[in-house]
Structure 1
Amino acid sequence: MRRTIEQDSALADFPGVLNALDDEVAVLDASGYIIAANGAWERFRVENGGDPDACSIGSNYLAVCASADGPSSAAAQILPDALAGTLQTGNTFRCEYPCDSPTEKRWFELTANRYQQDGKAYLIVQHRNITKRHVEREEIEQAYINSNAMAALIATTSDAVISYDLDGNIITWNPAAARLYGYGAEEILGRSLETLYPEGWPKRVTYYRDEIIAGRLQDFEATRIAKDGTERDVWISCAPIRNSDGEVIAISNIHRDVTDVRKAERARDLIAHEVIHRAKNMLSVVSAIQRQTARAAETLEDFNQAFGSRLASLSKSTDLLVHNAWTSVSLCDVVTGHLEPFTSVENDRRVTIAGPHIDLQPESVQTIGMAIHELATNSAKYGVLKQRRGQVAISWEVEEGSGLLQFRWLESGSVSESTLSRKGFGHTVLTSHAATMLDTNASYEMNSDGVSWEIKLPPAHFKAR
């Protein structure tokens, strides 16, 4: 709605005064019609685009506000009642609203005041561009939110977050750093970051500082020392901290504890090497069994029977090791396990087993197991376990002083004369193979009184409980 505006004597001096103002200013009569406006208002009106006559002199400002849509419509639609209240009471009305031009986002502050002259009331409506202030306020609010979020993140993260000044002195220390290294903030703040370095660490904190500032170092792995002397493997992410002028003022570090990961990796590598080593040893043993068995066998059937039996013995030792996670096996279990194919130890009065609890290392399990198998095989073919008379006494003890484990097989009371002349693979196992594998000496005697085998194991091959 528009109408022709007649010059009001009360407003005769307004154009000059209004044009001196930077803000967009318009004068409304009591009905809401614009009766005067300054140049800034006219430019503002044109920049907004849309209806070229909207908010021009002669248009009804209140009607324009009531029909507004878009981002500023919510604020615009409360203006008719608000401005009417200002006309009635004289109270200043103020609000902020978005008013985007076709090319940029903008925010404005609208202020309305009542002006009275010659018994008439007018409204002076002033628009001030507050885009910069609004953006700065939003940035401050967002920075505040970000700061709080970052503080919460640093306080709750499981990674140690540390910063130090350009001299290498620690200036921030989060709870995770306290948990990782054992120092409370009150103990460590102000101290050199090198407090965490192992003795003799080759690189100074100044080296890391210079490399980080130069952009050549973003992350690296290092060893650091906790308050109690514990070494920790840590993965360190790092970056320079700059002030508002872009000047580097400090260095930030994030320390992630990878100690357990590195231990697991080293254990995995050790196990892999150990598996390869044991596999090679096993193949060597199998190859030796094959050669020696073939050398002593008179027929293919004899070879197959002896070779198969010896592989079964080797498999039994391996089963015992696997059952115990390839760590150690009770010597008693090794003995009873290898005697099982030949006799029931619990019910056979001819066999006695005596000795303290001893755990054998893997190499010993295989070697002692193979020796027991050969002794039991010979006994089952020619001795006590065949003829059901005599005695097999198996015993062991740890010698005082030397700390050696002495293991004995003593078979007496029933030995075939044919046994005395046999020197096949079993004889090799009992006289040289076992001693060589365990880096010790073994004695093996066969005579008309019986069979005796004795070996002494160094402490590295066993553990007494």
Structure 2
Amino acid sequence: MKPLNPDPVARAFQPVIDAMRDGVAIMARDGTIRCVNDVWRQFSSDNDGDPDQHYLGGNYLHICRRSADQGDQLAAEVEAGLMRLFADGQDYRVEYPCHSDTEKRWFEMVASSLEFAGERFALITHHNTTSRNLARIELSHAEQSARNLAAIVATMPDAVIAFDLQGRITSWNAAAEKLYGYDRGGMVGQSIEMLYPPDWPRRAADYIAEIVAGELQHFDVTRQTRAGLLRTIAVTAAPVRSASGDIIGASTVHRDVTEERRAEQRLRSILDNLFAFVGVLEPDGTLVEANRAPLDAAGIKAADVIGKKFWDCYWWNYTPEIQNRVQESCERARNGETVRYDVEVRVAGGQLLWIDFQLAPLLDSDGKIVNLIPSGIDISDRKSMMAALKTSHDTFRNMVAGSPFGIYTVDADFRLAHVSDGAQPVFANVRPLIGHDFAEALRIIWPAAFAEEAISLFRHTLETGEPYHSPSTIERRQDSNEIESYDWKIERITMPDGRPGVVCNFYDLSERQRYDEHIRYLMREVNHRSKNLLTVVISMARQTARASPPAEFIDRFSQRLFSLSGSQDLIVQGNWGGVSVRDLVQSQIKHLGDDMQTDRFSIEGPEMVFTPTAAQGIGMALHELSTNALKYGSLSRLGGTVSIDWDTLDEGKVFRIRWHEHGGPPVTLPQESGFGRTVIERMAAISVGGKVDLDYAPTGVKWALIAPVGEVVLTGGAELLKSIGES
């Protein structure tokens, strides 16, 4: 059994060159013989050559150079020709004698450029031209009467045999003598049937009749040599005419194709047992050969597709788009390009099967494209696995990307390799991000001391595999001056390139810390305001009791308590951060009813936010004003209205809010000063460090409060309320 050659060149070309009937070797640019065929090995063994390796692995150029140094001019020419082939890709050929002790022989060496895996090789063929040379010698000694026939015989490298219409041999050349083992002198006059095997079914007369009729020109037969060996012979036949034009016999050329046919049969057997799809196309795209695999897969016969344009065959004609692509691929291959891509072919039952498809040109020794070779390998399982892997990868990627945790990786070169969506904000000031030196990125984000500590931790984990976890790290960022807090952990992983890397998983605790701080602030604020509110309620109760008869105390105190409660509700809804002026105004007139709010109030002013203190004091004043308007003022009479507006004065430094009644009964100055008047005139002003202007004009009460903006309006309050509303 022939040992397996691990050389990729041998794996690729050994079956092909073994099928060739000439001695063949493939040589690399440096002269190394990479693979040889069976004919080469046999010649080496028969002629005292290298009996073990048959020159495989030897240096062809060195052998030529040693012979040239010893005066062999032909070896020098061969070396130069091979060097030119590698330089410009031009074929080189030379004919030379190679006589043995027992016979004279001539060979023709042909070296052709062969491209494989991006490298140039030399395909070296040694063709035995002895028959041709012997024929040439024989021609010079032929009788003048057989000069025409001798000329034909002399130019043919194969056996040339002529016979008359009775099948008697009239010409027998040296190649025939070598092929069949019979001397020329003993064969002339003998029946051609001497070469037929004993059980051959046809007689010479059958062949002669068809040759004379022009119906038989090329055919294979089995013939028997003098030694009893059966050989497969490729016969080319033509009638022989006399000087007058009459057919007087037949001339045949016999070529021994036994090994060639066996190689073809082996190749056919190999191809038919391959699961791969293999075919042969004419340069115009006509399918002339297909192995069994694509036929069986599609449930069709060779007759269904042979002779058709490849793109019109069953495998492709399920959609015009695929047909056009295959046709375009044939055009590209016809121009010398090898085309390869994944595509779906139709198989039995109309099912589609993914294959790795390739279409390559096949060149002859002159570099001319003689055929196109399509091939395909079933990759359905690979496609399914890749689809499943992609789905799994996408699912995992989406999970990582959408995770509230931040995840990023650092590769073996200490560069950022992956950064999840959750981790992007941390690296907002690092650009470009992916591929950025991680140490440099940390030095951009964090102060030097912490950056160096983190770099050391990451490098330690990368080198040793020891993980690190910090449940709470609080640092002020260097790039934004913001204080941030993280729970973070690092571990060593294997990166896609097979080298180690580090993955960091972290959770941003900054928001939670801010939230906790806000809660603590709110608790302090609640505690503080609860005390203040309790003081206000106690004072409100005392003042209400002092100014109200016992029968009216409960009603008046309840109304004031509800007013205070409305302001507190708004303060709490704003997370103790502030109250919209418009919301406060509407809450304090809500007790009047929906109709009155809609039809009898005009409310105007820009979007502003009161501080909790301002909301409490001004809210109580608005309640008292609305209660008095309902009892004594414009709201006590049909058609009476109230306008409320607010704005800023003195370039935004002073806040002003006004209450103006219209259409009510004539107003007189009240004679008594109760709790409501105290709230309207003093408490609201005191709560915001401002002053109140109260005018009991006959046409309607006018009330205005002005105060420093900083005591009343919460800076950035509008944005705060908007964010609260959105959340």
- TM-score, length-normalised on structure 2? 0.34
Larger relative contact order (C-alpha < 8 A, sep ≥ 6)? Answer: 1
- TM-score, length-normalised on structure 1? 0.50
**Structure whose alpha-carbon radius of gyration is higher:** 2
